[in-house]
Structure 1
């Protein structure tokens, strides 16, 4: 094998390893994590027993009800998956955006709708590439 050919192969190998390992390479930082989802926990303060349903909303839609599912590609009822929770703490998997919390009583009447501004903390990934985040907000009923 000629010296020029070896150099080309070596250069291609080094570039491939740099890209595959998500490390600093000759062209800066390469990030493999795209579109990370994050976890938001909503803690109900006051009278959590009065809460029948709690939804996380953005500018377009609200989360599905707990246990509610939809088929892949079904856009008739958009929304995030339903939360998990114990009545005092509700956890959602979300992407970022302008968020609000909507709380209904056991009869289905909206008790409260409040804009929230979570303080996100990165819990994975890297500082350069970002990664999944977590936040907890408290909503008083």
Structure 2
């Protein structure tokens, strides 16, 4: 009986040995990043944008209020559906979708993410609070992989990109 179990175990193990396929990449994603460094007086700079492929980055603003809340109808009746209360005016800027996100690291340094994308060119620009373009520059981007593998790819960085004000 013991020999039968050993044989069954050997058959099972030998039958699954080829299931682990070497060279297959894991199904994961990553985000590439580009850094922009401002050169000159930064007092009037409100935001910096990274604009490849005609889509400029957005800089998410922290919020303390939800965009909408769920509240019961005017007379709470058991079984009555809840109604959505619209967000306060101005809570949603109506901004166009962008796959690029930016964040301010310090007064001179901004970092941008490009999820699963490594564009060859971009325009970087500094904007005043009024939306006035203070400086803009088109750049060719060189990406350097900083993780993953040559076969499967992985996160890359570009920059630093200098923008003179």
TM-score under structure 1 length normalisation: 0.70
Give 1:140's aligned residue: 164
Deviation (angstroms), 1:40? 1.1
Give 2:140's aligned residue: 117
Distance 1:67 1:10 in 2: 56
1:102 aligns with 2:125: yes
Asked if structure 1 preserves the Cα contact closer than 8 Å seen for 2:52 and 2:122, the reply is yes
Q: 2:104 aligns with which of 72, 79, 84?
A: 84
Change (3 A) 1:135 1:33: farther
Distance 2:50 2:27 in 1: 25
Asked if structure 1 preserves the Cα contact closer than 8 Å seen for 2:49 and 2:57, the reply is yes
Change (3 A) 1:104 1:118: same
Distance 1:11 1:36 in 2: 34
Change (3 A) 1:125 1:13: same
TM-score under structure 2 length normalisation: 0.62
Deviation (angstroms), 1:39? 1.4
Change (3 A) 1:102 1:46: same
Structure 1 vs Structure 2 CA RMSD: 2.9
Q: Which has the higher contact order (CA 8 A, sep 6+)?
A: 2
**What's the CA shift string for 1:63-120, capped at 9, x where partnerless?**
1134268x9xxx9621233423212000111122232112112432112332222322
Change (3 A) 1:44 1:37: same
Distance 1:110 1:91 in 2: 19
Change (3 A) 1:105 1:127: same
Asked if structure 2 preserves the Cα contact closer than 8 Å seen for 1:31 and 1:129, the reply is yes
Give 1:12's aligned residue: 16
Deviation (angstroms), 1:34? 4.7
Which 5+ residue runs of structure 2 have no aligned equivalent?
A: 68-93
